[in-house]
Amino acid sequence: MNDDRIDQIIQNHQSEASSLIQVLLDIQSEDRWLSKEALSRVSEKLEVPQRRIQHIATFYKAFSLSPKGRHEVHICMGTACHVRGAGRVLEKVEDVTGIRPGETDLDLKFSLETVNCLGCCALGPVMEINGTTHGRLSAADTTDVLQSYE
């Protein structure tokens, strides 16, 4: 993301240091991660120490300091999903994408994470991609769902 776009996002929040988290969320929403250059620009424009911004960006799980894929895949590993086969769903996602939890594939198509609960236990096992929930998955279903994303 270029400096002009970062400046525009900051201006959308009246260049207020109190809007730091929202500014970071907006940058990440467009760029899918927070680069060192973006953090430096935010620090300069909001007059917030780089160290404070780094602390916030590493404290909240919502922020990523490494590039994320276009499609964020979350596999629920909660008890209900686990007993209904979440492990098999995770294995299938790993096989199809070639990545493990916490990783992003080289072409930045998929990022994979496991979560403790997605809050829809009756649909287990559950996979969420870009906020869309896919439930009652089998291994074959998992492959079909992944292939439907570009």
Give the pLDDT of residue 76: 97
CB-based contact 92:143 (threshold 8 Å): yes
Give the pLDDT of residue 150: 74
Give the pLDDT of residue 105: 97
CB-based contact 120:132 (threshold 8 Å): no
pTM of the predicted model as reported, rounded to 2 decimal places: 0.82
Angle value at C-alpha 127, between 121 and 125, nearest 5 degrees: 45
For domain 71-147, the CATH class is alpha beta
Residue ranges matching CATH 3.40.30.10 in the chain = 71-147
